[in-house]
Amino acid sequence: MTALFQLIYPIISALWRDCFGKDGWGLPIIKYRVVQHIFLFIVSFALLICRGTTLALSAWIALGIQVWWSLGHGPAYDIGTAGKPDAKMLKRYKKMVGYKLLCKLFPEDKWYSFGFDFALLAIRYTYPLVLICWWFNPVFLTLGLVVASLYAIYKHCEWLQKQRWADVELWVGFVAGLFIAYL
C-alpha cells in the first residue's frame, strides 16, 4: 500500500498544485482554498500514516506541508522579468521573508533582477520547511532551490510557457510530491 501511495502522491501533488495555482480551475467547490488545503492535508496525512508515522506526527507534517504551500510567492514569481515594481507590487515585495536581507546583500541596481527574485523565491520555498525537515532526509531542504529553479526555467523559456504539459505548477507539484513521498 505504501509503495502505491508513494507512486501516486507526486501525481496527485502535481494536479493539486496546478489546481491551486489556477484557482481550482474555476470549478464550483474546488475553487475554494480551504477545500484545496483540506484535500491535500488528507492525502498527505494518509501517505504519512502508510509510511508508519504516528497520528500526531503525521498531522503535524501534513499541516507543515499546507503552510509551505499556502505562503505566497508574490512578485518574485516573475524572476526578474517584470522590471522595477510599482508601489502596489513594492508593498508585496516588502512583505516577503528575506526581502530586507536581500536588499542589503544586492546592490540597489540589482534589486528585482533575476538573481534577486531567484534568491527571494528560494528563501520563500525553503524557510517553511524548517518546521518539518527533521523528519525527512536532509536533502529535503534543497526543495526550495529546486522549486525556485523550476520557476526560473519556466519564466525564461517561452517554448515551455506554450506547452500545457510543461506548466510550471504541474512540475513544481510533481517534484514536491516526489520529495515528500520518497525522502
Q: Distance between CA atoms of 96 and 65, rounded to whole angstroms? A: 19
Q: Over range 71-96, report the average pLDDT.
A: 86
Q: Over range 130-134, report the average pLDDT.
A: 89
Q: Distance between CA atoms of 19 and 26, rounded to whole angstroms? A: 9
* 39: pLDDT strictly greater than 90: yes
Q: CA–CA distance from 177 to each of 54, 86, 99, 126, 165 (Å)?
A: 20, 35, 27, 15, 17
Look up residue 156 and give its DSSP letter: T
* 1: pLDDT strictly greater than 80: no
Q: Distance between CA atoms of 33 and 29, rounded to whole angstroms? A: 9
Residue 81 confidence (pLDDT): 81
Q: Over range 56-65, report the average pLDDT.
A: 95
67: amino acid identity, one letter: V
Q: CA–CA distance from 112 to each of 62, 70, 75, 93, 154 (Å)?
A: 33, 23, 9, 9, 17
Does residue 147 contact residue 125 with C-beta atoms inside 8 Å? yes
Does residue 177 contact residue 14 with C-beta atoms inside 8 Å? yes
* 73: pLDDT strictly greater than 80: no
* 31: pLDDT strictly greater than 80: yes
